[in-house]
Amino acid sequence: MTAAKKLEPLDIADAPARPFVKWAGGKTQLLAELRKRTPAFGHYFEPFAGGAALFYSLAGSSPSRGRWANLNDSNSWLVDAYTQIRDDVESVIEALRGYERRYRLPSGGEEYYYKVRALGSPRAPVERAACLIFLNKTGYNGLWRVNGKTGAFNVPHGKRKGQVTICDEDNLRRVSKALAHATLTSADFEVAASRATRGDFVYFDPPYVPRSADSDFTAYTKEPFGPAEQERLMGVALELKKRGVRVMLSNADVPFVRKLYRPTLGFTVEKVSAVRHINSNADKRGPVGEVIIT
């Protein structure tokens, strides 16, 4: 196991890379709070990677050689994009330029977006990566949502043709360098965390427990993440802690979460606040209560 390394303070703006997708529940707003609570660790595990903002932040003060991070997400399309950016970023950039060029044409825009969306996930790995980034950048509010029955991406067009940056070449290259130190998988979160051993650090950022029916953004994949899965996650976190693994979780500040991670089980729950921009109702975007659990 790699010797534990104490992380030095890092200005968020100085992170070597930033998320290349906008993901519901992304942690850019909470990085400072997360970094305050990040312990020294041997290997880093993130079973719900999403945009992986904390990973990029840690990359600035973690070992420069070897694969010290394990990133996992149940969305295999997203993990495929991570893999292609890590292994062949220049081909991803070239393919993404093609999407951007066709989108900017007078005949592109909304019509082209829906044409790409209707085709679904391309088979060629590089095209899959570029297509995911394109849909995420040009879809409504950067939301990633899929049909609960078919798993098909179903977000409407974002109507921001002249404003959105689709191919951020510089950041993609920096992401590729950071990902060179990451093992990438697409599995169940319990499986992804099972390889963590004493002294390692696991950060869980699951689909949040919804505050109300209209705030439920857990449909990143067609499989639901309901109360039973939240309870299973707590059990996994508790078992890891008993094995000497350092654990941190994020979730919504709701009674169900506080009851689940009660102090009598050895959990510490701290309230924090973040600004959330992904919601179908613009009036409901703003500061929301969240908790960091250790």
What's the pLDDT at 221? 59
| 139-174 pLDDT, tens digit each | 998 788 888 778 788 999 997 666 789 999 999 999
| 83-128 pLDDT, tens digit each | 999 999 999 999 999 999 999 999 999 999 999 999 999 999 999 9
What's the pLDDT at 146? 81
Judged by average pLDDT, the poorest of 174-183, 187-196, 216-225, 237-246 is 216-225
What's the pLDDT at 220? 53
CA atoms within 13 A on the CB side of 46: 23
What's the pLDDT at 285? 46
Does 197 lie in the same domain as 288?
yes
Main-chain phi, psi angles of 217, to 5 degrees? -120, 45
Number of independent structural domains in the chain:
2
The stretch 129-141 carries a mean pLDDT of 94
Q: Which residues lie below 8 Å from residue 15, measured CB to CB, with a gap of 6+?
A: 31, 56, 57, 59, 60
Does 126 lie in the same domain as 267?
no
Does 200 lie in the same domain as 164?
no
* Per-residue pLDDT at 207 exceeds 80: yes
Range of the domain at 140: 78-171
* Per-residue pLDDT at 292 exceeds 80: yes
- Residue 66 to residues 40, 70, 72, 177, 233: CA-CA distances in angstroms? 17, 12, 18, 12, 29
Tell me the pLDDT band of 2, cut-offs 50, 70 and 90.
very low
* Per-residue pLDDT at 7 exceeds 50: no
What's the pLDDT at 11? 47
For residues 189 and 48, the answer to whether their CB atoms sit within 8 Å is yes
| 23-48 pLDDT, tens digit each | 877 688 889 999 999 999 999 999 99
Residue 278, in any domain of the structure: yes
- Pairing between β-strand 182-185 and β-strand 44-46 as defined by DSSP bridges: unpaired
Q: In this predicted model, which residue has the larger pLDDT, 221 or 182?
A: 182
Does 63 lie in the same domain as 89?
no
- Selection from 2-6, 20-24, 169-173 with the highest mean pLDDT: 169-173
Judged by average pLDDT, the poorest of 65-69, 176-180, 245-249, 255-259 is 65-69
What's the pLDDT at 14? 61
Tell me the pLDDT band of 204, cut-offs 50, 70 and 90.
very high
Does 130 lie in the same domain as 47?
no
Mean per-residue pLDDT over the chain, rounded = 87
Rounded to an integer, what distance in angstroms lies between the CA atom of residue 158 and that of residue 138? Answer: 6
Of 140, 155, 171, the residue that ends a domain is: 171
Residue 4, in any domain of the structure: no
Q: Is 229 helix (H, G, I), strand (E, B) or coil?
A: helix
Does 153 lie in the same domain as 281?
no
Report the CATH number at residue 51. 3.40.50.150
Token pair in block for residue 6: 């104490």
Residue 208, in any domain of the structure: yes
Does 183 lie in the same domain as 51?
yes
What's the pLDDT at 149? 76
Report the CATH number at residue 166. 1.10.1020.10
Residue 147, in any domain of the structure: yes
Does 193 lie in the same domain as 145?
no
Does 193 lie in the same domain as 136?
no
* Per-residue pLDDT at 12 exceeds 60: no
Rounded to an integer, what distance in angstroms lies between the CA atom of residue 183 and that of residue 43? Answer: 11
* Per-residue pLDDT at 179 exceeds 90: yes
* Per-residue pLDDT at 8 exceeds 50: no
Residue 281, in any domain of the structure: yes
Residue 2, in any domain of the structure: no
What percent of the chain has pLDDT above 70?
83
What's the pLDDT at 276? 55
